[in-house]
Amino acid sequence: MKVAIIGQGYVGLTISAFASGFFEVVGFDSNQKIVNQLNSGISHIEGIESTVLRKSIEVGRYKATYSGSDISDADIVVIAVPTPLSKDRKPDLGFIDAACRTIGEHIKQPVLVINESTSFPGTLRKYIKPAIEKYSRSKIEHLYAISPERVDPGRSDFNQKNTPRLYSGLTPEASERTNAFYSKFCDNLVEVSSPEVAEAAKLFENTFRQVNIALVNEFAQIAHSLGISVYETLDAANTKPYGFMKFTPSAGVGGHCIPVDPTYLAAVAEEHGAPATFIRRANEVNLEMSKYVVGRLAADNDGSLSGKSVLVVGVAYKPNVADVRETAAELVIEHLRQRGAVVSWHDEVVGIWNGESSAPLSGADITVVVTKHDDVKVQDILGSAPYVFDATGKVPGAKGL
């Protein structure tokens, strides 16, 4: 059995690593640099060890490629390409379309196509299947299924094996074959009645997080205005053993999922005339947190940041990963520069970002912590500037939300 996985990023490489324990895997990626790096046995994804990759390569179970001809004899094709927002913050299925073109142009025998990329309900049925048929230029009866990915990069307690996986095929045969594929490396498969339910469930999971994060971010502002500690209040509420789930405030949300997926749900809701008011407002609250944080810095520093050196600690969107997609640090830096601050940032995990390098953790007038990696010591943060503001709740002794 040969499995082609389109896209070798966080999702695609993770699936490749697990699937290559049981199948011959070809990881197709349009980025030649990534392909060459993977073929030399170097993983670019946290949680996927290069040693595991090298072992799969050695036993002939894994190969990366950017050549469509390498996937032409696959039995199963998994789509794991980005589903971002366009400049005007609308769903952008351009990468999905390109993946469909690759499949349509290179695969001439019936295969099982599984989509793992996150998108709105109806994407598999109304978009992916017709697009592959269009690019195939001949009538091939592929099987189609969806199994939205739930990987949380950098997390060790939940992985492909023990995270329940939703799936649904367009036909019973597609569902059966999807089950047979994932059951090799996933313990708990949950079949739902249609691909649309699986697609919607994935979006709702992340929308749930987005809305609750927005709520706690708004509450942080309320708590500050009342002169009480947001963290102590949340811990107090969290002593209730039922009906409460603790979320923590921050300078905003980042990553490929939380700031993006809810907008896919809102877009499809509004297209069908349904309200998406919570989703839209939650997004605004989370985006506005960066401005609020910068406002707090200014308020604590004589009302002006002009000419002051401000060090932003942590530009990855979450601790212990190098992923900077949609990071809240970007907006924090933008607002700081708009107020005339001289901004540098420290993040040894990210290293280089937007053409700038990580600065030393010292010598600033003001430090603001947006993301705290485990390796960054609290004492070093506190010693980096006379005024330190922590938006993470992990730096005791600093000012904070």
Ligand X SMILES: NC(=O)c1ccc[n+]([C@@H]2O[C@H](COP(=O)([O-])OP(=O)(O)OC[C@H]3O[C@@H](n4cnc5c(N)ncnc54)[C@H](O)[C@@H]3O)[C@@H](O)[C@H]2O)c1
User: Rule CB under 6 A: which residues touch ligand X?
Assistant: 6-12, 28-31, 34, 80-83, 95, 98-99, 102, 116-118, 149-151, 153, 256-257
The residue sitting closest to ligand X, measured at its beta carbon, is 9
Give ∠ CA 322-262-153 in degrees, rounded to 5.
25
Q: How far is the CB of 12 from ligand X (least distance, A)?
A: 6
Q: How far is the CB of 59 from ligand X (least distance, A)?
A: 24
Q: How far is the CB of 223 from ligand X (least distance, A)?
A: 30
Nearer to ligand X, 7 or 314 (CB): 7
Look up residue 377 and give its two tokens. Answer: 């010591």
Instruction: Give CA torsion, residues 224, 229, 235, 239, to 10 deg.
Output: -90
Nearer to ligand X, 162 or 362 (CB): 162
Nearer to ligand X, 262 or 400 (CB): 262
Half-sphere exposure of 4 (CA within 13 A, CB side): 24
Look up residue 42 and give its two tokens. Answer: 């170097």
Nearer to ligand X, 56 or 221 (CB): 56
The CA distance from 247 to 261, in Å, is 18
Look up residue 301 and give its two tokens. Answer: 């520093």
The CA distance from 205 to 211, in Å, is 10
Look up 100 and say whether it is catalytic. no
Q: How far is the CB of 68 from ligand X (least distance, A)?
A: 9
Q: Which residue has the tokens 């094709």?
A: 77
Q: Which residue has the tokens 């001949």?
A: 138
Nearer to ligand X, 103 or 143 (CB): 103
The CA distance from 200 to 209, in Å, is 14
* Single-letter amino acid, residue 241: P
Nearest to 6 by CA among 25, 20, 22, 21: 25
Q: Which of 13, 19, 113, 257 is catalytic?
A: 257
User: Which residues are known catalytic residues?
Assistant: 257
